Amino acid sequence: MEFTEDWFTHNIPNFEKCMLEVGAKRKHFLEIGAYEGRSTCWLINNIGEGGTIYSIDPFVGMEEIEERFKNNTREAVKGTKVISCHVKSTSYQALAKMISNKQEFDFIYIDGDHDPATTLADAAMAWGMLKTGGVMLFDDYEYPQEPTKVGIQGFMQGFVGKYDLVLQNYQLAVKKK
């Protein structure tokens, strides 16, 4: 596998906690923001037998990165029954289609556009497709360079009472009641 960036490894303990919360029957994952597929490859290895993972990323002007994502995920699924689906689109359009197809997920990772309005829209749209007992994990809750936290807090306030807090550190995760 080939990666040039690592925004993922330091978050593995959070992902492990989320996997425990979701439970052994986890099968359907959604990821917004894939880049070279570092988080995707880890999730492929931690999904249930015969599971699926949808990774949304428009890869605008990112041909080499997209190629690396494809090669890395192709290698990660080898020898498994996991299906990795790349949705080459912005989250808004992709999520709208998934909602109308009535897709459902056990685990959702939000790591796409870090603009607060997009983060809030991603979370609100994806929330309806998260199963009860499913977990939604946000990256960059405590990232001072970008106001992602504002969008996450907007979601938290709007959906208060509908989730339990799973973890809050650099990232934040909630479990759907």
Using CB atoms within 10 Å of the CB of residue 97, give its burial: 0 to 12 exposed, 13 to 18 middle, 19+ buried.
exposed
Instruction: Give SS3 for 26.
Output: coil
Residue 28's beta-bridge partner residues?
52
Q: How many residues bind ligand SAM (CB under 6 A)?
A: 18
* Cβ-based nearer residue to ligand SAM, 8 or 105: 8
Q: Count CB atoms within 10 A of the CB of residue 54.
A: 21
Find the helix or strand (DSSP H, E) in which 168 lies. Answer: strand 163-168
Chain positions 104 to 143 lying near ligand SAM, rule: CB under 6 A, are 111-113, 118
Q: Which residue, 126 or 130, is less far from ligand SAM as judged by CB?
A: 126
66 binds ligand SAM (CB under 6 A): no
Closest CB 172 distance from ligand SAM, rounded Å: 15
Q: Which residue in 170, 167, 177 sits closest to 19, CA to CA?
A: 167
Q: Residue 149 Cβ, how far from ligand SAM at the closest point, in Å?
A: 15
Binding stretches for ligand SAM (CB under 6 A): 7-8, 32-35, 38-39, 56-59, 90-91, 111-113, 118
